[in-house]
Amino acid sequence: MAKTDFKSVDDYIVSQPEAVQAVLERVRGIIRKALPRAEEVISYQIPAYKLDGTAVIYFAGWKQHYSLYPVNRRLLADLKTDVSAFEINDKGTMRFRLSEPIPAKLIDRIAKLRAKEVLAHKPAKSAGTKKR
């Protein structure tokens, strides 16, 4: 893959093969609906969604599939059999074949579970104690 410098998710999607673009737009829409407060950014040269400055979920398009990142063990335990039909590697990548229907409900659940996981690990902001 050539080195790129995407400025937006739109730039990223347009750079993909035509057959992949519609799928990525749909995945994007599912994530944006699931995480309406998330900031849409490019991180590691792929689309990412951040809450309170922390990355929640990423997606990327490839020739034969698209992927979501990260999908960790805790998330897999929550999803159980819902993910058994999909390829998941040890690094937290979940792959979906372009030739198969988009699992919208599953992507929605993954995005929401990741957001919950990320926000649960954020330290609570202090009540604003002042130094004198």
Intra-chain end-to-end CA distance of the chain, in Å: 54
**Interval 20-43 mean pLDDT:** 97
pLDDT of residue 18: 87
Report the CATH number of the 9-120 domain.
3.90.1150.200
Going by C-alpha positions, the residue among 32, 63, 30, 66 that lies closest to residue 46 is 66
Is the pLDDT reported for residue 130 higher than 60?
A: no
**What kind and span of H or E run contains 94?**
strand 94-97
pTM for the predicted model, two decimal places: 0.86
Which token pair is 59?
A: 């997606």
Contact predicate 65/76, CB 8 Å = no
Residue given tokens 């347009």 in the structure block: 14
| Residue pLDDT, tens place only, 54-79 | 999 999 999 899 999 998 888 888 88
Q: Give φ, ψ of 42 to 5 degrees.
A: -105, 125
Residue predicted with more confidence, 129 or 14? 14
Please, which pLDDT band fits residue 132 given cuts at 50, 70 and 90? very low
